[in-house]
Amino acid sequence: MPESDSWTVHNPAEQLARLQTLCRQRSVLIYRQQALYLQILRDELRDATRQALFRLISDVDPGRFGALSESTRLRFHEAVDQLVQRCSVLLTVEHLRLLAAQMVEETRRRQAQASRDLLEGLSQQQNQLESNQRQERQEPYGSIHLSLDPPVGETQTYPSRAVPVEEQDSNQDQNPAAVPPVAEQDLEQDQSDLDVLRSLFQLAGDALEHTALLDEIPSPSTGQSNSGAGHTGFMPELPDALLDWMEAIDLALSRRLRNLSHAINVEMLRCGLANTLLPVTLLEAVLHGQVETQSTASNLIRLRLPMAIGEIEQGVDVLCILLRISELEFDSPRLRRCRRKLRELHRDLHTMVRQQRHWQRRSLDQEVRTHWQSPTDSNPPPLDGD
């Protein structure tokens, strides 16, 4: 192998450039496959929703839908079709990318609000400590503090046999401030701890707000971003950023389907086909696997809500619609084939991310070695004898 080829193979900058070029090629394939997946989903979403509604009405009360008037049934079908059509328009790569950015911003605002609430709680505790300290200081004239604990920060002195007791008493009378009250010291220590915590959370809140502002301001150089993941127009150019992009698209798609499911459940409640309505937070908990559900048909969830009637604890089964990506793919062979190809691209990206992190560590190590071995000043100062 020539020396130039060997240097190229072991050069981190060259390897990172090759990974970036390969990532651009993979991003085109990922975009096309994701767009095809969403197109198939738009074509099959209406039939999947109607099938889920039919199973739901059949399981709950088949006669309830027949008891509705003809106009109410037509109005219900039209409302569901409009909801599905409105959601299908938003099932594109561009709209999901915007929704993913909104979800990231929502998470940052929630974290910033939590830090601000914690800062307010610490400020209230600090104000309460200061008010208690002022109340303790406002004591009647001539009050004294008696404590059995030795003074903190002072060397412990013991009376010697040569010194009489009267002289020791006179020395203590001359220096009455040598024994500070322990309660005041505890208050000052608590106040200092609160100040430290308050400053830390203040810095964390400022950092979150600062990063949010930086994300809103467009970067002057469109080739690279602040995090090192460049974007050429639409798709990321580095493997780790492209992997995050794919995961964000899946999360945004799950959010769209969850919102559609909640809107259909609300419409069923309006028409009298449902007696209860599950909140959005509970639907989100089901998607994350935080709530145990019972077995039912695809795109439906059955929850058993505990209810105490007298001394007997009973439960009520609640059945509603929840469109999920996994169950839509289970019922559609076309979606399964697209998902299989997306998973293959996802695995390839994982390999590229490991390679990227390896060469980034090599590049950082090389940079540190270069700065460590090179002299800080090429022109040393002249000696005194010169």
Encode the chain (386 residues) as per-residue pLDDT tens digits.
555 555 556 788 888 889 889 999 999 999 999 999 999 999 999 999 999 999 988 887 777 777 888 888 899 999 999 999 999 999 999 999 999 999 999 989 988 888 888 888 888 887 777 777 666 666 566 666 566 666 655 555 545 444 444 444 555 445 444 444 444 555 455 555 556 555 555 555 554 444 443 343 333 333 333 333 344 457 888 999 999 999 999 999 999 999 999 999 999 988 888 888 888 999 999 998 888 888 888 899 988 877 655 555 567 788 899 999 999 999 999 999 999 999 999 999 999 999 989 988 988 888 888 877 765 555 555 555 44
Whether residue 157 lies inside any domain: the answer is no
Whether residue 128 lies inside any domain: the answer is no
- What residues make up the domain containing 234? 17-117+219-364
Whether residue 207 lies inside any domain: the answer is no
Whether residue 62 lies inside any domain: the answer is yes
Q: Measured between alpha carbons, how far is 88 from 320 in angstroms, rounded to an integer?
A: 21
> What is the model's pTM?
0.66
Q: Measured between alpha carbons, how far is 350 from 356 in angstroms, rounded to an integer?
A: 10
Whether residue 71 lies inside any domain: the answer is yes
Predicted local distance difference test score (pLDDT) of residue 41: 96
Predicted local distance difference test score (pLDDT) of residue 329: 95
Q: Are 119 and 202 in contact (CB under 8 A)?
A: yes
Whether residue 315 lies inside any domain: the answer is yes
Measured CA angle at 107 (ends 106, 109), to 5 deg: 65
Whether residue 371 lies inside any domain: the answer is no
- Of 49, 47, 40, 93, nearest to 338 by C-alpha is 40
Interaxial angle between packed helices 280-287 and 239-271, expressed in degrees from 0 to 180 and rounded to the nearest 10: 130
* φ/ψ (deg, to 5) at 125: -65, -40
Domains held by the chain: number: 1
Whether residue 111 lies inside any domain: the answer is yes
Predicted local distance difference test score (pLDDT) of residue 384: 54
Residue 70: half-sphere exposure toward Cβ, Cα within 13 Å: 0
Element (H, E) at 307: strand 300-309
